[in-house]
Structure 1
């Protein structure tokens, strides 16, 4: 009832409100229509009563009003109509979609009118949404999507480009604010309707390549969408040829990269040799007297470029396009050319910035004498961002292939080390390296050898250096000491900052604050790599000095994950060397409220409530009842603070009790053989008492250290332990079982503090039915020797 009232109110306001005031209430009306989803999606053909007929009338009024607003002369009316059409279609689903042909025609007409950019953008989004909603209904696809989609593609292309009549390719408009919206719509629709896009694939291909070739002059989001659309065009290939088209586009991209590198790297004599015979014959670069560049379109069809900076832009754009090939999902299985990609990256990473560009004799790179110094220096300045793009390609390959990248992971690691050794001064390079090394360590870190870790030690130290503040870094402290104003000559006092004398800590605090705030990406990458150094590397192969630096960095930077990883992965104890101290106190002091820290400080064995008794262990509730009963009988427990009792303690004590039982039985049999009369009488008495007691009394499995020593002496002297039960009928049926988590040996003793029990007291205890019987380790003699019995406590 509330939905029908809301729908009636919406149609009333749409009809009575002036058109120029509709944009002000468009948001309210769209929200109200979403509340009427149940009414709009209900079948209108089933009319069971007057209310259903009234609802159908309201829905018809709403659709008629929306169609009239789409054809309205004012911008405000058309803008409001586009917003409400999208809300109505999403709320009504199939019931609205099956009659939305007039709405689709009105939306397509708006794309050809001189409406504002916001109206056309909303119109493209609404049409894309309608085409997606009709995809699950084949009838609606044939009736609405297939006839309307070609007109939509043509209208969208006309909004962002111009097609000359004499050329098949399109030319991008200099100012196209709807370019991102159009590319996003094409990328999402081309996968579901490839046959409809097939006639337009050449026009879209030319438009996309113009953006990829001039990536530096376009927005980053537009370039990424252009790359995705370029890769998605392989779906428009004829039937069952999509994977071959995808591989062909990938190979063309690699060939274009090699051609661009031939021109860009002409200042050096490359030592790289391709494994592909077709690439060994490199293209001839321009004459050395001319500016570096490429004159014609390459294998991919990209336009010409000129200059080192333009060549570096082309290389980075194509590398990011190749990375997009790794991450874009495909509808069918494709073959990734891993060998060709690694061959390309080997060439790009082998050309690095020399340590001293002025002295070519000290560098491993052979320079081309025909190229001037200025071009070489420009190339050195562009190499870091090219290598950052290479590492981004490696990361995308690892993300896509996962564990399948392990066979070539060592090759990727070697190329990363080449870049680090030559270009570690660049912060962007280090940021990308930290991300790449962290992913590689998760795959091949546990299998690394001591030599591998030694080769990575410099990178690990740089990671710690990037995390530590400048005042805590030993290198910066030594530099500060060497640059002490007192050590300078008087001639340099005029150039010294006077504020440094008034506040010496100002410079250090500024450096420590700027180290993390100026480069947050570098600090974040190093913080993520530090915990992996504890968990992914073989601990026994890490040098103690390097491990100490890891721990120090984790403590000073308050890296919780790294500190936890350090505690959970301690250094192994080596014979002849002192064990490294744990950083547990620092972790407990820094994060006292963390549950992970609490579990490390106070580990507890979980108790299984309601589990059956096994091997002498009982549930907690039974132990509590036994303890309460023993306390009522006057028995106390004495415990000592030790570590958690292990299962071997209980097994050992249970086996000792079993040996006492066996020795008691053997002693009784020997007594019967020595004294037939008394032995026969004693067996008869035992049998008589056994008829009265249905359950055999058990001896407590926990005994005192004194009793254990006595038992050990008895076993050495080959004496036989005997068990005397004064009052068998008074022994309780259940015995006290020690708790599983009890940390100490449990000892039971009488509430009396006298060291020795008198004969009268023994008689009193025998008469009482609440006392646990004592175990006598001496053979049975006369009654006068009862005072010398050694009681087994437990």
Structure 2
């Protein structure tokens, strides 16, 4: 706060002590300092403390000095005041706006003085900004905007036009430098204050007619865009509840004016189009074919006459752009879009194309060939504007354009095939197809996708760098290579880089590569991958790699070709993506996703103690290793024998192998053998040698239970087989060479806690022992 106070004090000191003639060079520096003092300028100025009282004094001193400078006699002082007022108003907001009425009057007065053009332009910008800032405060609108805005409109219109005293219309000044800035300012304010603009609507309309209908000289595109936006915004000034009808009337008049202009422009050919509206069939005017093409009257919009094919094409393009503005400009109320009339118009404009092989155009015999060829040269401009109109229509309707999307796509491809040599046509076609695919792409059939193949290949060609072809040789009759001397360029041999530099500096459309890249990404994202032929998809991926466009490469990786029976799996371009954009976060997340581990427990999102977590881990380990539990149980307790005589149940036996010790020659078996038991007779089982004074805790052998002949025998699962030299499971009395057999008496009165009786007499030979150890 102290630094802001010092800055404000320094600004006041310089404004007071520096001569007015020397203020313009430092005006930008002072405006920057005031912009940094927003906290002080926007704070309420009614505090009682000494420091805040000093700040309030500095703010009051600044406002007094600005009011004095805006009324200064020198243009330098007024220019400095205009610049600083804009900075103070934007920094101080409501605290400054509530006391800026004298400043607003001074700014409006500057527009009528003989100040430099730059001062008047800055005054228009500052006043527009003040009116915008007061819109959110109804009290300030009532106190400042409502009484001051009519004077501003009148002063702004006086900068660009002259109003006769007896007529309600205005005449545009020729070569006025304020036209664009005034039209932009009025277009921004008319929607928020339509009631105030209503008395001036006729005057504004007359000025716009002169701008839009100008044939010579033509205005820059930025001026035309501002005029079109303001022309459409005039419907806000209509009386209550009639703005929708006013907008509809403006669209209908624009459509009628386009058709009337097309009647003269397309007179060199015989149109094969017939309107669905009977009123348009009889609306054509008689023409004099002996004279140059021209329209000597006023059209439906009140636009003036024009002469010459160039002027007619310019008028047609401007009207198409204004119709696009009608579809994209926000309206005051709900409106009904004349969809049928718009499609009828585009059908007429796209039916006339440049003649190609197999697509002839019927000429009008009453018109000279020169005018017809001139028309063919201007058709790409008309068709580019037509496709821009269709793009605006689809963007406005969004999903509502799905029923007419196929019709629009057919019109686009019809024009594209005939005029794809024009960069403007290609850019407009790419943009329109991109907009269509976002709504209708997933529903395209394989046949529809095949019709887009030519456009897709052209899109890939526009993204690739120019190809430098070497000089070709023409073989002669004897089969020897012979250079074509008639077409060889000697300079290319002396300076090979000349051709490459010429191709590299060749002029290109500013938005060609951008729209082509966006279209390729849309094709990979929205078009079903299985409908793209392998060759076309390979060309798309190749172009994507060479152009190094991140969005297109991501779309290719995220939409791979699905596997098809009889076709090899296609390779992904992910390595090229990772190499081209190694530091990009989206690529990093695609290659190495770091998503959190999803737990299957019920404790998701809760805290667990370390001890509980360790116990859970032990339980999980125990569940994963049931054989270790069995071994521990056998070492500490007496083996339990299943005496159930029911039918045995088979259980899967897990395989477990142990690596032998370096000094051990025994081989651990992968799976122990099961004894073969006959239902009728129980055969004797090889027995284990006796264990001298061994306790149950050190028992590690495999117990084989001899069960009397009964209905069934239940066999226990084989326990873990361990090595004899293992210190953890070592036994007393030497290694085990067989299986321990527990003889269970047939009486049921014996206790289960007693140890089973071991058979000490082995009845197997050496071959059986070896087989048992290996098996």
Give the TM-score range, shorter chain. 0.7 to 0.9
What are the equivalent positions in structure 2 for 1:702-713 lying under 5 Å apart?
none
On the 8 A contact 2:724/2:731 being kept in 1, the answer is no
* C-alpha deviation, 1:198, in angstroms: 0.6
Partners of 1:469 and 1:512 within 8 A in 2: no
Higher-helix-fraction structure? 1
Structure 1 residue 511, shift from structure 2 partner: 7.0
Aligned twin of 1:671: 643
TM-score by length of 2: 0.77
Residue 353 and residue 53 in structure 1: after superposition, are their counterparts in 2 closer, same or farther (change >3 A)? Answer: same
Note closer, same or farther for the CA distance 1:464–1:626 as it changes in structure 2 (3 Å cut): farther
Evaluate the alpha carbon distance shift between residue 169 and residue 571 of structure 1 in structure 2; reply closer, same or farther with a 3 A threshold. same
Q: Residues 711 and 5 from structure 1, CA distance in 2 versus in 1: closer, same or farther, beyond 3 angstroms?
A: same
Q: Does 1:258 align with 2:248?
A: no
Note if contact 1:348-1:387 (Cα within 8 Å) is conserved in structure 2.
yes
User: Could you say if the C-alpha distance between residues 165 and 708 of structure 1 is closer, same or farther in structure 2, counting changes exceeding 3 Å?
Assistant: farther
- Looking at structure 2, the residues matched to 77 and 444 of structure 1 have their Cα atoms a distance apart, in angstroms, of 61
SS at match of 1:124: helix
Partner of 2:275: 274
Distance in 1 (alpha carbons) for counterparts of 2:406 and 2:548: 32
Structure 1: which 5+ residue stretches go unaligned? 357-361, 636-649, 658-666, 676-698, 719-725, 731-748, 751-755, 768-775
CA contact (8 A) 1:293 1:311 kept: yes
2:315 corresponds to:
314
Give the distance between the partners of 1:353 and 1:521, measured in 2 at CA.
24
3-state secondary structure, aligned to 1:381: helix
TM-score by length of 1: 0.75
Is the Cα contact below 8 Å between 1:264 and 1:312 reproduced in 2? Answer: yes
Q: How does 1:168-183 map to 2 (within 5 A)?
A: 168-183=168-183
**2:300 matched to which residue of 1?**
299
User: Do structure 1's residue 764 and structure 2's residue 729 form an aligned pair?
Assistant: yes
Aligned partners of 2:673 and 2:194: how far apart in 1?
A: 88
Partner of 2:490: 498
SS at match of 1:311: helix
Q: Does 1:406 align with 2:402?
A: yes
Matched, 1:373 2:369: yes
Aligned to 2:167: 167
Post-superposition CA distance 1:681-740 (Å, at most 9, x none): xxxxxxxxxxxxxxxxxx99997899999699999x99xxxxxxx87999xxxxxxxxxx
1:513 aligns with 2:504: yes
| Counterparts of residues 366-445 of structure 1 (less than 5 Å) | 366-445=362-441
Give the RMSD, CA atoms, in angstroms.
4.7
Match of 1:21 in 2: 22
1:34 matched residue in structure 2 = 35
Give the number of aligned pairs: 685
Q: For the structure 1 residues 762 and 399, does the alpha-carbon distance in structure 2 shift closer, same or farther, using more than 3 Å as the test? A: same
Q: Does 1:114 align with 2:106?
A: no
Contact 1:262 1:282 in 2 (8 A): no
After superposition, the Cα gap between the structure-2 partners of 1:465 and 1:36, relative to the gap in structure 1 and judged at 3 Å, is closer
Q: CA deviation at 1:96?
A: 2.9
Whole-Å separation in 2 of the counterparts to 1:708 and 1:213 = 100
Residue of structure 1 in register with 2:712 after alignment: none
> In structure 1, what is the Cα distance between the partners aligned to 2:593 and 2:699?
43
1:374–1:9 CA distance, 2 compared to 1 (3 A): same
The answer (yes or no) to whether the contact 2:296–2:305 under 8 Å persists in 1 is yes
Q: CA contact under 8 A between 1:89 and 1:130: conserved in structure 2?
A: yes
> Shift in Å at residue 582 of structure 1?
4.1
Contact map agreement 1:566 1:583 (CA 8 A) in 2: yes
Whole-angstrom distance in 2 between the partners of 1:30 and 1:484: 75
**Partners of 1:110 and 1:123 within 8 A in 2:** yes
The structural deviation recorded for 1:15 is 2.6
Distance 1:41 1:548, change over 3 A: closer
Sort the Cα spacing of 1:413 and 1:766 in 2 relative to 1 into closer, same or farther, 3 A.
farther
Deviation at 1:31, TM superposition (A): 3.0
| 1:741-780 deviations in Å (ceiling 9; x for gaps) | xxxxxxxx99xxxxx744564982699xxxxxxxx9x999
Which has the greater radius of gyration? 2
2:267·2:364 contact (CA, 8 Å) conserved in 1? yes
Partner SS, residue 66 of structure 2: helix
Structure 2 distance, partners of 1:705, 1:372, is 100
SS at match of 1:269: coil
Shift in CA distance, 671/75, structure 1 to aligned 2, threshold 3 Å? same
After superposition, the C-alpha distances for 1:525-584 in whole angstroms (9 at most, x for unaligned) are: 222222333222222222222223223333343444444433433333333344444445
Say which of 567, 571, 576 aligns to 2:561: 571
Matches for 1:339-738 after TM superposition, within 5 Å: 339-355=340-356, 363-471=359-467, 481=472, 493=485, 496-501=488-493, 507=499, 509-510=500-501, 513-514=504-505, 518-519=508-509, 521-584=511-574, 586-587=576-577, 606-608=596-598, 671-673=643-645
Can you give the 5+ residue segments of structure 2 that lack an aligned partner in the other structure?
629-638, 660-667, 680-695, 701-718, 733-738, 745-757, 763-767
Q: 1:603 to 1:146 in 2, by over 3 A?
A: closer
CA displacement at 1:54 relative to structure 2 = 4.5
Distance 1:788 1:156, change over 3 A: farther
- Tell me, in whole angstroms, the C-alpha distance in 1 between the residues paired with 2:173 and 2:658: 94
Range with greater deviation from structure 2 (224-233 or 279-288): 279-288
CA offset digits 1:452-500 (Å, max 9, x no partner): 122111112222222334438xxx68xx647799999989637632243
Asked if 2 retains the 8 angstrom alpha-carbon contact of 1:531 and 1:565, the reply is yes
CA distance in 2, matches of 1:306, 1:103: 48
Label 1:447 to 1:765 Cα distance change in 2 as closer, same or farther (>3 A).
farther
Q: Matched residue of 2:267: which SS?
A: coil
Q: Cα distance 1:22–1:552, how it changes in 2: closer, same or farther (>3 A)?
A: closer
Q: Indicate the SS of the match to 1:268.
A: coil
State the match for 2:752 in structure 1. none
User: Which stretch of the first structure deviates more once superposed, 30-39 or 431-440?
Assistant: 30-39
